[in-house]
C-alpha cells in the first residue's frame, strides 16, 4: 500500500514539475504582448495563443496591421523556426488555421518578414527574404515589395547607369509582309532591372522586374508602311524607345499580257520537226513593293524587286499544249495567277505568230495590229469604225469605261465567309489603257489594256464592303462592289471555349466586410471577354458539366487585399483528385501602410479583371497546326512553350479549306496536351474520336 502511495506521489510530482518547466519555458509565448494604437489592439490572435508556429504567424500579421514592424519581425522569425522544426505537423495543424483550399497559398512568412524589414529600411535583408519567398511560392504582394526594395537599393547606391537596350529577334526590320498582323519578338536588357515594356498599344505582362526579359507581341498592321513603337523602362525610370518599321502589302502583282491573247491561234514553227513551236510572250508586270519571281509553265524567272518589269520572252511549247500558266509573286509573298488558253493553228503555211483579233472588226478584216502602237476603234467609239487610230487619238475619243470581271464573287448577292480574310482576283480590261486601280482606298499604279490582279482583304465581324474601281487614261471609271459577311467558325465560337464553374471565394477572416462579390465580378468580366464559358449555378444544378472549377480565397488586411484563384480540371469519369491547370493571384495595397483599404465595387471589379487577364495568359486561346501523327490517337502540334500552353489543356483538331467560302470548318476531334516542349507539344485524342489526323490539320485551344 505504501509502495502504491509512493508511486502515485512520484508521478504527481513529475507532472507538476513538467507543468512548471513548460510554463517557465513558454511564459513569454503566452504573455500578453499586444500593443494599442488609436483605440485598437494589435498583436492579437482570434484563438488563445499557445505558441504554435501558426499562432506566431497570425500575431505577426496583426502587428503588421498596426505598423509594429519590429514585433512583427520577431514573431515571423519564430514562426519560420518553429515550422521548420515541426514539419510533420505543419500541414495538418497549420491548414486548420489558414483554412486553405487545395494549395498552400496564404502562408508567406518570408514575404511578410521581407516587408517588415523593408519598412524598417533594412533593404538588403528585405531583398533576401522576398527572394526566398518568391522561390517557394509566387505572390503579387512579394513581387511588388521586391521591386520596391530593388528601386530603393538602386537609388541609394546610384547603381543604374544606363537605360534599357532593346534587341529585336524577328521579323527582320524593314521587311515586307502580306499579313494582317505580325508577331514581334525581342529581348530587353538592363544593367539593373527591366520593369515595363510596351509594343505598339500592347503592354507586355511583367509581374517582377528582371535584368533580361523576352517579349512576344502580336501587332495589327495596316496597308503600307507601319512604324511600331517599342518602349522599355527600368526601375529607376530610365526609358528607351525605338521604332520597328515594317511594310504590309496585301495587293498582288498586276499581270498585263499583250501577247498572246486568250485562244490565240498557235502555229507550228518553221524549221522544227519535234512537234514544238516557239512563241513570244510580251507584256508588263507591276507591283508597288517589288516583284520577286515569275513562273511560266514551271519555268522560273527570278527578279530583284523591281516595281515594273517589261516581259519579252521566247517560249517553246509542246504541240497541243492547251494553256499558258503564269504565276507572279512579289517580295511580300502575294501571288497573282493568270491562265491563257491557247488554240493550235492547223495551217502549217503560217510561219509567224500573230495575236488574236481584239474585236469583231479585226476578225472580219483579218488584221492583227501591233498592240504597243495602235488601237482599233470599237463600234460606237468612232464615226469611222474599222480605222486604225493612234493611241493618243483613241484616248481622246474613248467614252467606254474599263471592264472589271471578278472570279467567284457576284455583285447581286451577299457572300458568307468562315475565313477571316478573302482572296479577291480578277481582270480589268479597257480598249484604250487602264491607268489606276483602287481596292477601297488602296491605290495601284500600272498601265495596260488587259490586266490580271489579286488582293487579300481582312474581314471585320460585321458586313464587309469591298469596292474595286478602275479608271482608264480617258478618265472613264467603272466599279465592282463585293459584299461579304464574316461568320465565325464553330471551333472559334464561345460555345467551344473551355467551360468553368466559379466556386464561392472563401474570405479570410470570415468577418471581413466586402461591398461587392468577387464571384459576381468574375462572372461578368468572363462573359464579356468570352475567353472562358462560365457555367452558372442553375446550369450546374441542372446537370450541365464544367471542364474546370475555379476555386479562390480572399485575404483582407488593414491596408491591402489579395485574391488567390486556382483553376482545376474536372474529370467526372475518374476518381482521381482534381488536377490544377494553373494558379494566379492579384493584390491591391494602399499607398500608406497605416490607411485602411476600402474593398468597394470598383476595387473588386478591377481585381476581377486582372484575375481574368492572368488566367487568359496562363491558359491562352491560341491556334496552331498538326506537325506529326501516328495515324491513331497521338499527334504532335507546333504549340510549344513559347505559346504558353500547358499539359492538361484541351485542343480542338479541325480542317479548313483556304479556298472555301460558305463552308464551316470540319471538326475532327478533341485532344488533350500531355507533354510540352520548346517548339512542340504531344497530345492524345479523346476516346471515341476515330478520325484519321494528318499533318497540316489545324488546332485551337479550348
126-142 pLDDT, tens digit per residue, is 999 999 999 988 899 99
Q: Are 479 and 417 in contact (CB under 8 A)?
A: no
Instruction: Over range 390-415, report the average pLDDT.
Output: 77
Higher pLDDT residue, 500 or 577? Answer: 500
Give CA–CA dist 596/560, Å, rounded.
8
For 508-557, write each residue's pLDDT tens digit.
Answer: 665 556 657 888 899 999 999 999 999 999 998 888 999 999 999 888 88
187-196, 197-206, 340-349: least confidently modelled range: 340-349
For 664-695, write each residue's pLDDT tens digit.
Answer: 999 999 999 999 999 999 999 988 788 889 99
Planar angle of CA 8, 11, 13, nearest 5 degrees: 105
Q: Which of 180, 191, 239, 187 is nearest to 213 (CA)?
A: 187
> What confidence tier does 86 reach under pLDDT thresholds 50, 70, 90?
low
For 635-666, b/e burial (b = at least 16 CB within 10 A) is bbbebeeebbbbebbbbbbbebeeeeeeeebb
In the prediction, which pLDDT does 344 show?
72
Instruction: Over range 391-404, report the average pLDDT.
Output: 71
**pLDDT at 99 exceeding the cut of 60:** no
Q: Which of 172, 149, 164 is nearest to 212 (CA)?
A: 164
Length of the chain as a residue count:
702
Strand 239-248 vs strand 175-177: parallel, antiparallel, or unpaired?
A: parallel
Query: Which residue ranges form the domains of the chain, and what is each CATH number?
Result: 21-157 (1.25.40.10), 165-248 (2.60.40.10), 254-356 (2.60.40.10), 403-434+441-487 (2.60.40), 492-618 (3.40.50.10070), 623-701 (2.40.10.410)
Instruction: Over range 653-663, report the average pLDDT.
Output: 79
Q: What kind and span of H or E run contains 34?
A: none
The predicted model scores a pTM of 0.80
Amino acid at each position: 500500500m505504501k509502495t502504491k502511495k509512493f508511486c502515485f506521489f512520484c508521478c504527481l510530482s513529475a507532472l507538476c514539475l513538467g507543468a512548471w518547466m513548460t510554463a517557465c519555458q513558454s511564459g513569454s509565448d503566452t504573455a500578453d504582448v499586444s500593443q494599442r494604437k488609436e483605440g485598437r489592439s494589435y498583436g492579437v490572435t482570434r484563438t488563445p495563443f499557445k505558441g504554435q508556429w501558426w499562432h506566431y504567424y497570425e500575431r505577426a500579421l496583426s502587428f503588421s496591421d498596426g505598423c509594429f514592424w519590429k514585433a512583427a519581425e520577431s514573431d515571423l522569425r519564430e514562426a519560420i523556426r518553429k515550422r521548420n522544426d515541426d514539419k510533420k505537423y505543419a500541414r495538418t495543424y497549420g491548414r486548420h488555421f489558414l483554412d486553405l483550399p487545395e494549395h498552400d497559398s496564404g502562408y508567406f512568412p518570408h514575404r511578410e518578414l521581407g516587408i517588415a524589414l523593408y519598412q524598417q529600411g533594412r533593404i538588403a535583408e528585405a531583398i533576401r527574404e522576398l527572394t526566398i519567398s518568391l522561390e517557394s511560392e509566387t505572390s503579387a504582394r512579394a513581387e511588388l515589395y521586391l521591386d520596391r526594395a530593388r528601386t530603393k537599393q538602386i537609388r541609394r547606391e546610384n547603381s543604374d547607369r544606363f537605360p534599357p537596350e532593346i534587341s529585336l529577334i524577328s521579323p527582320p526590320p524593314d521587311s515586307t509582309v502580306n499579313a494582317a498582323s505580325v508577331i514581334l519578338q525581342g529581348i530587353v536588357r538592363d544593367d539593373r532591372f527591366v520593369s515595363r515594356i510596351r509594343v505598339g498599344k500592347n503592354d507586355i505582362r511583367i509581374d517582377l522586374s528582371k535584368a533580361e526579359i523576352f517579349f512576344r507581341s502580336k501587332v495589327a498592321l495596316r496597308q503600307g508602311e507601319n512604324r511600331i513603337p517599342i518602349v522599355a523602362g527600368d526601375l529607376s525610370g530610365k526609358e528607351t524607345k525605338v521604332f520597328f518599321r515594317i511594310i504590309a502589302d496585301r495587293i498582288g502583282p498586276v499581270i498585263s499580257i499583250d501577247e498572246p491573247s486568250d485562244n490565240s491561234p498557235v502555229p507550228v514553227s518553221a524549221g522544227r520537226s519535234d512537234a514544238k513551236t516557239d512563241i513570244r510572250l510580251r507584256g508588263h508586270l507591276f507591283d508597288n513593293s517589288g516583284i520577286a519571281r515569275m513562273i511560266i509553265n514551271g519555268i522560273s524567272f527570278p527578279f530583284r524587286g523591281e516595281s515594273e518589269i517589261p516581259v519579252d520572252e521566247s517560249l517553246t511549247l509542246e504541240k497541243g499544249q492547251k494553256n499558258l500558266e503564269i504565276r507572279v509573286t512579289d517580295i511580300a509573298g502575294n501571288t497573282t495567277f493568270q491562265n491563257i488558253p491557247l488554240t493550235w493553228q492547223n495551217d502549217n503555211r503560217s510561219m509567224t505568230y500573230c495575236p488574236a483579233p481584239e474585236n469583231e472588226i479585226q476578225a472580219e478584216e483579218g488584221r492583227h495590229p501591233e498592240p504597243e502602237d495602235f488601237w482599233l476603234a470599237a463600234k460606237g467609239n468612232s464615226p469611222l469604225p474599222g480605222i486604225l487610230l493612234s493611241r493618243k487619238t483613241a484616248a481622246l475619243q474613248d467614252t467606254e469605261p474599263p471592264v472589271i470581271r471578278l472570279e467567284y464573287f457576284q455583285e447581286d448577292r451577299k457572300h458568307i465567309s468562315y475565313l477571316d480574310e478573302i482572296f479577291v482576283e480578277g481582270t480589268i480590261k479597257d480598249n484604250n489603257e487602264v491607268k489606276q486601280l483602287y481596292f477601297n482606298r488602296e491605290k495601284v499604279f500600272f498601265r495596260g489594256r488587259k490586266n490580271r490582279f489579286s488582293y487579300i482583304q481582312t474581314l471585320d465581324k460585321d458586313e464587309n464592303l469591298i469596292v474595286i474601281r478602275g479608271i482608264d487614261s480617258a478618265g472613264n471609271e467603272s466599279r465592282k462592289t463585293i459584299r461579304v459577311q464574316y461568320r465565325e467558325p464553330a471551333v472559334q465560337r464561345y460555345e467551344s471555349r473551355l467551360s468553368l464553374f466559379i466556386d464561392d471565394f472563401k474570405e479570410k477572416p470570415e468577418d471581413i466586410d466586402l461591398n461587392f462579390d468577387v464571384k459576381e465580378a468574375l462572372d461578368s468580366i468572363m462573359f464579356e471577354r468570352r475567353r472562358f464559358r462560365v457555367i452558372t449555378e442553375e446550369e450546374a444544378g441542372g446537370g450541365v458539366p464544367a471542364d474546370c472549377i475555379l476555386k479562390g480565397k480572399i485575404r483582407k488586411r488593414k491596408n491591402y487585399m489579395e485574391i488567390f484563384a486556382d483553376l482545376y480540371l474536372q474529370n467526372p469519369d475518374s476518381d482521381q483528385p482534381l488536377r490544377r491547370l494553373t494558379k494566379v493571384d492579384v493584390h491591391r495595397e494602399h499607398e500608406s501602410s497605416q490607411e485602411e483599404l476600402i474593398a468597394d465595387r470598383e476595387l473588386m471589379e478591377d481585381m476581377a479583371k486582372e484575375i481574368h487577364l492572368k488566367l487568359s495568359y496562363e491558359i491562352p486561346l491560341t491556334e496552331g497546326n498538326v506537325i506529326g501523327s501516328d495515324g491513331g490517337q497521338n499527334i504532335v502540334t507546333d504549340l510549344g512553350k513559347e505559346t504558353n500552353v500547358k499539359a492538361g489543356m484541351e485542343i480542338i483538331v479541325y480542317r479548313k479549306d483556304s479556298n472555301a467560302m460558305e463552308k464551316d470548318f470540319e471538326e475532327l476531334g478533341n485532344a488533350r496536351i500531355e507533354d510540352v516542349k520548346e517548339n512542340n507539344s504531344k497530345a492524345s485524342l479523346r476516346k471515341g474520336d476515330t478520325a484519321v489526323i494528318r499533318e497540316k490539320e489545324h488546332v485551337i485551344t479550348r
